Chains A and B, each alone.
Chain A
Amino acid sequence: MIKIENLVKRYGELLALDHLNLEIHEGEVFGLLGPNGSGKTTAINCILALLKYDKGSIKVFGQEMTPDSYEAKRQIGIVPQNVAVFNEMNVQENIDYFCGLYIRDNEQRKQLVQEAISFVGLEDYKKMRPKQLSGGLLRRLNIACGIAHKPRLIFMDEPTVAVDPQSRNKILEGIQKLNENGSTIIYTSHYMEEVEQICTRIAIIDHGRSVAIGTKEELKKMIKTGETVTIENVIFQPENLAEIKELPHVFNLKYEEATITIQYSGGKHNLIRVLNYLQQQEISFGRVFSELPTLNDVFLEITGKELRD
């Protein structure tokens, strides 16, 4: 559905996109991750023909994307990060306005607007102005304005920022429903758990390049960390730490303030092995956790930074 090849974009001296390659298939919920300034927004703006690029090619629906690709644009919807609606219009009028930029037929548009209102659950707020809505409801309105015309391809840029958990769940359910209804979704977010929950494939972008791409399972396999065991309230002597480091699959450990964090590269029964060791050495301990790698671990290991850097 989208094919980006060797995309280069410069802002003066700054290289925003450095030979970016991406392929997004129909029916995917494609997560685009990257620290701030990594080039995500620039890439999206280039795909949407909002920005000119220096080199490379972008094909959407098999056609080169230009500012005049109105046939392609007709099938695209965007949900920007900031709520982009008119304060002077009520909920229904806003959705009708943005839908009207795609659908001329009044009857058809009327029906689509009602469907969008129902889809985001704003039936009781139709006549309200944006300023009268809560943050969560505003986000839902923002989404409704981007999807009312039933686009095949939807760009969603952090649609759940500053939203209460209830609205967030509603929004995420909605995105999955849109996908089930046939829309391909490109989703950017800083919330790893959201991306893990809804995205079928994920690309991590850093320094304007795609540094990792695949399903969440594939991405997790790309990193060294297989399992992380944490033990609290435990007192170790230096020789204990050396012995634990020699256990199978351990590649890193951190001992601070009576808490040890052991990282394993893979393998099975890691937790049992370390607990056996503690029993043999008659070392008492508090709570014990075992965690499989998260997308955050993947992100941290690949980019070397926190997502909010």
Chain B
Amino acid sequence: MTVFKGYMKITKRNIGFILMYVAIFLGVSIAMQASASKNEGSSYAAEKLDIAVVDEDGGMLAKGLENYLKQYHEVSYMENDEGIMQEAIYYENVDLIIRIPVDFEENCLEKGEELKVTKVPGTYNSIYAQQQINTFLNEVKTYMAAGYSMEDGLEKIAAQKPSEVNLIDLNGNSGQMPGYAYMFRYAPYMFLAALCYVLGLILTAFQEKDVKSRMLVSATPQRRQVGEAILSFLVLGVTLFIIDIGITFALNGREFLEAPNLIYYLANTFVLMLVCLALAFLLGMFITRASLVNTIVTPLSLGMSFLCGVFVPLSMLGKGVKKFAQFLPVYWYEVNNDLLSEYQSVEGSVRNTMLKGYGVQLLFAAAFIGIALAVSKYRKQVRN
């Protein structure tokens, strides 16, 4: 296993680069995952406001309004102190302060005066609460005009339930992208950069003319040498695959292990790893100097990642870009990955699309190996 050990030794010497790409992958995945969950949180806050009420009236109508608002928002009470109110608004402790004046019923219901509302400057979500206040007052007016007493009218309004919105969860994800899906989205960059870089360096060293001659005239049959080289490629690829899955498990725990389409995620990533190995093999055939490896691998891995929906989701890419990306293997990985993050259950047409994605990726891998072998054969013929 001399050749295998040789590959492993050179890999060991370049372990720093592998760790660097793993760290970049980890950093980007965690940052994007955190950023995504933060965005989701802020969108919910916009629907439920923090409202402070300064109740100078304390009457039945004022209490009715407060109870009505409590159905939709977080309502707290505040003293009638300009300083405290200004501070609360300045520090954005509340979104809105509603001042219910003395003689609220008379001033607002009969004379039609508007409630004093103070909001955080530059925000628009208070309009939503102001509309609700107007709705409440109009409903009270309507009930009283219909002959109901204030008490009965308020009871009727309180009995109204807020409208329910039913989410039809077709894909089983509740419209959410699972956390581990981010890890899989960014995985191609790590596989492309780490495998192409390290294997590119190794192959450049082994393809050096005189080293190659030394190996060809040695007593180790060429078939054995090729076999050991393939084995070392696979060991490196599978190790990186295990690292990727290990990190995803470490960061997502049971949620990841219990994912209903886990096996499809694993298969998609394994196929991607094979594609990256094949691409690394092809690059190794063309790169003649170690100094060129970085020059070629960096733009290749970054370029493919940007074009194929690794760093920017496919849904945000233009039609032209997507059309071009179809000629790159990572695109098909990301299509599969998006399907898996969208659908919990892989059946029917989703399953067919997934299988097509696997197939196209494997075809890319076969094409890369085929080209590399053809180049090698051509060179051998030229040499002879």
A31 contacts the other chain (CB 8 A): no
CB <8 Å contact, A84 and B208: yes
Q: Which residues of A contact B222 (CB under 8 A)?
A: 67
Query: In the complex, are the beta carbons of B217 and A70 less than 8 A apart?
Result: no
Closest A residue to B223 by beta carbon equals: A68
Q: How far is A73 from B201 in the complex, measured between Cα atoms in Å?
A: 28
B-facing mask of A204-228, CB < 8 A → 1, else 0? 0000000000000000000000000
User: Is A101 a contact partner of B220 (Cβ separation < 8 A)?
Assistant: yes
Residues in B with CB closer than 8 Å to A83 are: 210
Is A136 interfacial (CB 8 A cutoff)?
no
Is B383 close to A, CB under 8 A? yes
A87:B221 contact, CB within 8 angstroms: no
Tell me the bound Cα distance from A98 to B215 in angstroms: 8
Q: Which residues of B contact A51 (CB under 8 A)?
A: 383-384
Note all chain A residues with C-beta closer than 8 A to B5. Answer: 97, 100
Tell whether A82 is near chain B: CB-to-CB under 8 Å.
Answer: yes
Q: Does A251 contact B (CB under 8 A)?
A: no
Q: Are B6's CB and A86's CB within 8 A?
A: yes
* Contact flags B188-213 to A (C-beta < 8 A → 1, else 0): 00000000000001000100111101
Give chain B interface residues in 1-49, CB to chain A under 8 Å: 2-3, 5-6, 9-10, 13-14
Q: Are B213 and A101 in contact (CB under 8 A)?
A: no
Q: How many B residues are at the interface, by size bracket?
A: 20 to 34
User: Are B205 and A86 interface neighbours, CB within 8 A?
Assistant: yes
Given contacts A67-B222, A70-B221, A89-B9, A84 and B205 within 8 Å (CB-CB) = no
Residues of A close to B214: CB separation below 8 A: 78, 80, 84, 98, 101, 145-146
Q: Would you give the shortest CB distance from A144 to chain B, in whole angstroms?
A: 12
* Contact bitstring B106-147, A, C-beta under 8 A = 1, else 0: 000000000000000000000000000000000000000000
- Check if A73 sits within 8 Å of B208, measured CB to CB: no
A49 touches B217 (CB 8 A): yes
Whether, in the assembled complex, A88 has its beta carbon less than 8 Å from a beta carbon of chain B, the answer is yes
Contact among A78, A101, A145 with B2 in the assembled complex (CB-CB below 8 Å)? A101
B44 to chain A, nearest CB (A): 53
Is residue B263 contacting chain A, with contact meaning CB distance below 8 A? no
Q: Is the CB of A86 within 8 A of B14?
A: no
- In the complex, chain B residues whose CB is within 8 Å of the CB of A45: 213
Cβ distance B90 to chain A, nearest Cβ, rounded Å: 62
Cα distance, A101 to B218, chains bound together (Å)? 6
Q: Are A101 and B219 in contact (CB under 8 A)?
A: yes
Once the chains are docked, how many angstroms separate the CA of A45 from the CA of B9?
29
What is the CB-to-nearest-CB distance from B379 to chain A, in angstroms, rounded to a whole number? Answer: 13
Give chain A nearest CB distance to B366 CB in angstroms. 27
Partner of A70, one of B2, B10, B215, B219: B219
Does A50 belong to the interface (CB within 8 Å)? yes
Contact (Cβ within 8 A) A84 B211? yes
Residues from 36 to 72 in A contacting B, C-beta threshold 8 Å: 45, 48-52, 67-68, 70
Given contacts A76-B217, A80-B213, A102-B219, A87 and B9 within 8 Å (CB-CB)? no
Q: How far is the CA of A45 from the CA of B2 in the complex (A)?
A: 24
Cβ-based interface call for B216 (8 A): yes
Q: Give the CA-CA distance A100 to B383 in the complex, in Å.
A: 27
CA distance A50 to B211 in the complex (A): 13
Please name 16 further chain A to chain B contacts, defined as beta carbons within 8 Å, in addition to the given A86-B10, A101-B215, sorted by A numbering.
Answer: A50-B217, A52-B384, A68-B221, A70-B221, A73-B217, A73-B219, A82-B209, A82-B210, A86-B9, A86-B205, A88-B14, A88-B201, A93-B9, A97-B2, A101-B3, A101-B218
19 contacts between A and B (CB under 8 A): A45-B213, A50-B213, A51-B384, A76-B217, A78-B214, A80-B214, A84-B214, A86-B9, A86-B10, A86-B211, A87-B290, A88-B14, A88-B205, A93-B9, A97-B5, A100-B2, A101-B214, A101-B218, A101-B220
Residues of A within 8 A of B (CB): 45, 48-52, 67-68, 70, 73-74, 76, 78, 80-89, 93, 97-98, 100-102, 145-146
Q: Give 8 closest A-B pairs by Cβ, nearest first.
A: A84-B210, A100-B2, A101-B218, A74-B219, A80-B210, A88-B13, A88-B10, A101-B220
